[in-house]
């Protein structure tokens, strides 16, 4: 297994190198000029030209790409064109909110979706199954931002229970203050994942529940709960784990809308802001980070299969 992990990690480097080249090339070709944004509305063409020269943006593609790769190899992601702050510092500021939002959402999603999926499968065709599926359709159909505004209106403006926006650093604030800023965003972001995971859990469980060994377990007189959890759910876990893994990756990208609506200073907002301003070093830095996260999550999901199915070995 160790050899497999090492092989996958080496593959990660290759994937990231390809990503780096494509991102750099695409940004080079994309219309937009950070010098024009820096100069402001009143600047002249000459002003912009001079700022471009100062930033090294007038250099040929290969010189810029080579310089960036060389710095990257030394662990330097560069400096934001606008704020003059290191990209690693900007990413460092934004990792905690996104991580907190993603983990809370994942926790809410799994804790709600898996029992709902199991319940729906165990009572397939009943009103509770239909209710779960109806909720699932609603979860897929309702745009995150619409649901977010509904939550804000009800829980923040009308009831005044939870804050409208913002994020509180975990280390510098009370646990409750930290948590209460994440409740509404996690629910808003989690709904679609609850729907997704619940549907997959139901489908996977229905498939497993039709197997002979389940019938055997029931015939042996086992109670429904041990059959569902100990026998069925464990064997239905691989597709569920796969979808949770994909979900984490989707959550990170899905967090962009949630972070914007709830004004959470996360990686998603950093990415969007950087794209709008053409802050090339930041865009390149976060893209590399995203690709690394995707690859690592995929690896972890693959490894987790061994826990649920002893037949799988790498």
Partner 1 sequence: MNRSLRIFAAACLAAAATGLAPWAPAHAQQKVLKFIPQADLRILDPIATTAYITRNHGYMVYDTLFAMDEKFQVKPQMLDNYEMSKDQLTYTFTLRDGLKFHDGAAVKAADCIASIDRWSKRDALGQKLAEATASWTAVNDKTFTLKLKKPFPLALEALAKPSSNVPFIMPERIAKTDPFKNIEDPTGSGPFKMVKAEWVPGNKVVYVKNTDYVPRKEPVSWASGGKVVKVDRVEWIYIPDSATAAAALNAGEADWWEQMPPDLIPLLAKNKDITVKNIDPLGSMGMIRFNFLHPPFNNPKMRQALLYAVNQQDYVIGIAGDPKNGKPCYSYYTCGTPLASEISAEPLKGARNLEKAKQLIKESGYKGEKIVIIDATDQPIVHAQSLLTLDMLKRLGLNAEVQAGDWGTLITRRAVKEPVEKGGWSIFHTWLVGPDMVNPAVNFPIRGTGEKAWFGWPTDSKIEELREAWFNASDAASSKKAASAVQQRAFEFVPFIPTGQFILPTAFRSNISGVIIAPIAFLWNIEKK
Binding positions for partner 1, rule: CB under 8 A: 31-33, 36-48, 50-51, 54, 80, 82-85, 90, 93, 149, 152-153, 156-157, 160, 163-166, 171-177, 260-263, 265, 269-270, 273, 276-278
CB nearer partner 1, residue 48 or residue 197: 48
Q: Shortest approach of partner 1 to residue 212 CB, angstroms?
A: 48
What do you get for the CA distance between the two ends of the chain, in Å?
5
CB nearer partner 1, residue 4 or residue 149: 149
**Distance separating alpha carbons of residues 302 and 314, to the nearest angstrom:** 9
Q: Shortest approach of partner 1 to residue 95 CB, angstroms?
A: 12
CB nearer partner 1, residue 70 or residue 149: 149
Q: Shortest approach of partner 1 to residue 140 CB, angstroms?
A: 23
- Burial of 82 by CB count in 10 Å (0-12 exposed, 13-18 middle, 19+ buried)? middle
Q: Shortest approach of partner 1 to residue 177 CB, angstroms?
A: 6
Task: Judge whether 231 and 214 are in contact, CB under 8 Å.
Answer: yes
CB nearer partner 1, residue 94 or residue 231: 94
**Distance separating alpha carbons of residues 207 and 3, to the nearest angstrom:** 34
Q: Shortest approach of partner 1 to residue 39 CB, angstroms?
A: 6
The Cα-based distances of 251 to 77, 94, 118, 213, 259 in angstroms read 24, 15, 23, 36, 11
Q: Shortest approach of partner 1 to residue 27 CB, angstroms?
A: 12
CB nearer partner 1, residue 35 or residue 195: 35
CB nearer partner 1, residue 112 or residue 261: 261
Torsion sign over Cα 186, 188, 194, 197: negative
CB nearer partner 1, residue 31 or residue 60: 31
Q: Shortest approach of partner 1 to residue 227 CB, angstroms?
A: 37
CB nearer partner 1, residue 36 or residue 124: 36
Q: Shortest approach of partner 1 to residue 182 CB, angstroms?
A: 15
């Amino acid at each position: 297994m160790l050899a497999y992990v090492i092989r996958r990690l080496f593959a990660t480097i290759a994937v990231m190198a390809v990503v780096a080249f494509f991102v750099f090339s695409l940004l080079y070709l994309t219309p937009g000029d950070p010098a024009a944004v820096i100069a402001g509305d009143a600047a002249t063409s000459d002003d912009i030209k001079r700022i471009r020269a100062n930033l090294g943006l007038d250099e040929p593609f290969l010189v810029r790409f080579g310089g960036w790769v060389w710095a990257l190899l030394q662990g330097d992601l560069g400096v934001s064109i606008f704020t003059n702050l290191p990209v690693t510092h900007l990413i460092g500021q934004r990792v905690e909110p996104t991580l907190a939002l993603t983990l809370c959402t994942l926790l809410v999603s799994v804790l709600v979706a898996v029992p709902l999926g199991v319940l729906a499968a165990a009572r397939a065709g009943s009103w509770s199954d239909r209710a779960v599926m109806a909720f699932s359709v609603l979860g897929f159909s309702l745009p995150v931002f619409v649901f977010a505004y509904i939550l804000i209106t009800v829980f923040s403006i009308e009831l005044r229970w939870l804050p409208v926006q913002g994020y509180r650093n975990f280390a510098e604030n009370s646990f409750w203050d930290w948590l209460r800023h994440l409740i509404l965003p996690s629910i808003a972001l989690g709904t679609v994942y609850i729907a997704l995971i619940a549907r997959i859990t139901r489908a996977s469980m229905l498939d497993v529940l039709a197997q002979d060994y389940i019938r055997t377990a029931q015939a042996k007189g086992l109670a429904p709960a041990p059959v569902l959890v100990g026998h069925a759910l464990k064997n239905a876990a691989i597709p569920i784990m796969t979808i949770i893994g994909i979900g984490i990756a989707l959550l990170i990208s899905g967090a962009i809308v949630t972070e914007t609506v709830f004004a959470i200073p996360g990686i998603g907002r950093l990415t969007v802001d950087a794209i709008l301003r053409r802050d090339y070093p930041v865009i390149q830095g976060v893209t590399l980070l995203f690709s690394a996260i995707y690859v690592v999550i995929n690896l972890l999901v693959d490894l987790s299969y061994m826990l649920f199915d002893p037949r799988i070995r790498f």
